[in-house]
Chain A
Amino acid sequence: MKLSTEQFTALQHELDSVKQQVQTQLGEADARYIRRVLLLQRLSALSGRILLVLGFITPWLWLAGVLLLALAKILDNMEIGHNVLHGQYDWMNDPVLHSKRFEWDIACDAASWQRTHNFEHHTYTNIIGKDRDFGYGLLRLSNDFRWRLRNLWQGGTYLLLSMLFQWGVSYHELAAQRVFFGKKKADRHTQVSDSELKRAFFGKGARQLIKDYLFFPLIAGPMWLWVLSGNLLANLLRNVWTSTVIFCGHFTKEVYAFRPEDCENESRGQWYYRQMLGSSNFTGPTWLHILTGHLSCQIEHHLFPDIPARHYPAMAKQVQAIAAKYGIPYNSGSFVRQYSTVFLRIMRYSLPGGNRATAPGQLQQSGPV
């Protein structure tokens, strides 16, 4: 599986040309697509909120409201928010769909997420100790981490994280910077001060809480409890769905992790190679891809994070062919299969021992350098 320097360079050129091909044809079709998704999101949010109140006619209307509101939140977070905040639609110059201006319907402040996700996670994907998305500092996902007593009940921790996922995402940067707890790291690098982090965290969090649990229940009058519980349920559905999708992207059975020392001075080709090994896809119909924000094509997303996501399924075919050519494993399977391996991994590593996800020297070139 080791590649030579020439092979890494060739890999880089082939993947670059896949990207180039799509980049040159971006235009009207992409703009129309994302604006339609945005319209669908707005309509389902509005109708969902109205139907929650109409629950007094029949509870089925309330249930439809919950599902529509959850759909709106999922579309907002995944196909729209995640992709827009990656800068995939910056070329449109749109007043809403721009990475600098977009804010999403989730507890996490968009700018904070851009720093942790776009920078930390996408640059240092699956490098143990550098990409805190590998286990989120809560879960032990391979034997690269020392076993601790708290890992024994990490199945429960996972369930809780999944249900409160938006707050986990929101707290992610503050945890890294040790804003509230823990000793500050000596080598930490910051773009923003602790007070700004706190203001963004509390400001955005408060707005989200007030909206769903105070404002809308209040204006619903006697239906306040229905609206409140409906909002709670919609948020819960969104949290569980997003966390499930994201766990399928990096923690499946055959996924690889890396040691920091192996990634020093890596070339662009090696970076591509690491992204392919560190991510996993799952297959499904088009609507499933849209609900995941095309993170079902996590490999393509990690290779080309700023290409509009609707192109990923088509690019996946080309990427898979390239992977086969170089003998690079291409980790894909059905949603159920991929998710079951994630769940088994969480369970397996709650106990001591197990395999490492890293392989020493795995990124080094074989043959003469």
Chain B
Amino acid sequence: MKMFLRRLWRNFCLMLGNQHSLTLYFLPLLQRLWPGFLPGKYRAHLLTKQWQTTDMLQLTFKVSGRWPGFIAGQHLLLTIHHNGRYSSRPFSICSPVSLWQSQRQIQLCCKINHAGEITPLLQQLQSGAVVNISAAQGNFYWQQPATPAVFVAAGSGITPIAAMLLSQRHWLAAVTLYYRVRGTENAALLSELQQLAARQPLFTLALSDSRTEPAETLQQQLCTDSYNKQFYLCGPAAFMQQLRLVLSQSGVKPASIQQEQFGLTMPTASEHASATKQLTASFIRAGISTEVTLSTQHSLLQNAEQQGLAPRFGCRIGVCLQCVCDKVSGQVRDIRSGVLSGHGAEQIQLCVSQPVTALVIKL
């Protein structure tokens, strides 16, 4: 019944305004009344900007009262309107939940990549500027606070882990944070974590400087002390892959390892037999079909962009689902998991799909 009513309403909106919702029909008017209004998103005002390190910028936002909140460790999509274009990227929330509960404020720690599209713009944002945020998402959070836990953060991977630790009110078990950075001057959120370590006897902070300490030392430390512990890992993909391998070799169950990934590592051509073949694809955009030769070393999004097709995209790491497209036929591989798709029609994410066979895709 509810489904039926929803479909009826959708058809009614389509009839009246040729849009799936009346909000979309009235969007030009609504955006005049509330600058920065975007359906399905929430508004956030920038309060302050502060450099945590030379390339990590901490942004404090006052978020809309409608924003449904978050679990420490989750991320959100930040959407910026610049030069006529909406662009989104995922960022982990680094502030404790209490800050949001008491003052409706959240903090994001963003690594500024000067060659990127979004992060240099964050640097230019003035206080009071309005951006859009999505609801919080992701399932990287502190699942069993009563079990002893080991947190491992590398570089900007500290952001969700800092939120988890700083949000914790009742400490029930011993927790160690291994924080791997390139020199302590590049350790974001360090003073907050040091204060926590000073005030909370169950929490130990262990800094690991990648300039002086080889990765093996850290791995050994983790393995000697791994019995019956929960592991939470966050950092670059290659770093975590290695760590996971070492931990599972020393007998840690996969179920005891939680991780959040930043960035994608593209499997190299030699890993897959199909990569040696020349593949072709038809990308159908706005009714026009373009035949292209695919590079199996790149994602379909990169392939399409190399042909000048400019499909819609967001985070480029499989989080935001903005690049979802209809695959008409052919097989793709999920870059993150290596799982193969079916051969028939289905929806795929361009940014994390690698071609396996010839493809027909509606962009």
Is A95 part of the binding interface, using a Cβ–Cβ cutoff of 8 Å?
A: yes
- Chain A residue contacts of B194, Cβ below 8 A: none
CB of B84 within 8 A of CB of A215, answer no
Chain A residue at minimal CB-CB distance from B86: A93
Is A38 part of the binding interface, using a Cβ–Cβ cutoff of 8 Å?
A: yes
- Given A27-B84, A92-B86, A96-B19: A42 and B288 within 8 A (CB)? no
Q: How many A-B residue pairs have CB under 8 A?
A: 89
CB of A111 within 8 A of CB of B27, answer no
- Chain A residue contacts of B29, Cβ below 8 A: 39, 42-43
CB of A26 within 8 A of CB of B32, answer no
CB of B85 within 8 A of CB of A93, answer yes
Is A12 part of the binding interface, using a Cβ–Cβ cutoff of 8 Å?
A: no
- Given A27-B84, A94-B86, A96-B24: A119 and B287 within 8 A (CB)? yes
Interface centre among B14, B38, B40 (most CB of A within 10 A): B14
Bound together, the chains give a CA A87 to CA B363 distance in angstroms of 11
Interface centre among B11, B14, B84, B284 (most CB of A within 10 A): B84
Scoring B residues 58 to 95 as 1 if CB is less than 8 Å from chain A, else 0, what string do you get? 00000000000000000000000001111100000000
Is B286 part of the binding interface, using a Cβ–Cβ cutoff of 8 Å?
A: yes
CB of A114 within 8 A of CB of B286, answer yes
- Given A38-B28, A42-B25, A93-B312: A114 and B18 within 8 A (CB)? no
CB of A99 within 8 A of CB of B285, answer yes
Chain A interface residue number, banded: 35 or more
Bound together, the chains give a CA A152 to CA B286 distance in angstroms of 37
- Chain B residue contacts of A116, Cβ below 8 A: 287
Is A117 part of the binding interface, using a Cβ–Cβ cutoff of 8 Å?
A: yes
- Chain B residue contacts of A90, Cβ below 8 A: 286, 310, 312
Bound together, the chains give a CA A207 to CA B13 distance in angstroms of 10
CB of B87 within 8 A of CB of A93, answer yes
- Chain B residue contacts of A119, Cβ below 8 A: 287-289
Is A98 part of the binding interface, using a Cβ–Cβ cutoff of 8 Å?
A: yes
Is B172 part of the binding interface, using a Cβ–Cβ cutoff of 8 Å?
A: no
CB of A95 within 8 A of CB of B83, answer no
- Chain A residue contacts of B27, Cβ below 8 A: 95-96
- Chain B residue contacts of A95, Cβ below 8 A: 24, 27, 38-40
- Given A27-B83, A91-B85, A92-B85: A191 and B284 within 8 A (CB)? yes
Chain B residue at minimal CB-CB distance from A121: B287
Chain A residue at minimal CB-CB distance from B285: A87
- Given A118-B287, A119-B287: A98 and B312 within 8 A (CB)? yes
CB of A42 within 8 A of CB of B24, answer no
Is B16 part of the binding interface, using a Cβ–Cβ cutoff of 8 Å?
A: yes
Interface residues of A in 66-101 (CB under 8 A from B): 85-87, 90-96, 98-100
- Chain B residue contacts of A86, Cβ below 8 A: 286
Known: A90-B286, A95-B38. 8 other contacts (CB 8 A): A26-B84, A31-B84, A39-B32, A96-B27, A117-B287, A118-B287, A210-B15, A211-B16
A interface list, Cβ under 8 A from B: 26-32, 35, 38-39, 42-43, 85-87, 90-96, 98-100, 103-105, 111, 113-119, 122-123, 191, 207-208, 210-211, 215, 306
- Please, could you name 14 A-B residue pairs with CB atoms under 8 Å apart, sorted by A? A26-B84, A31-B84, A42-B25, A93-B85, A96-B19, A105-B18, A113-B287, A114-B288, A117-B287, A118-B288, A191-B284, A207-B15, A211-B15, A215-B15
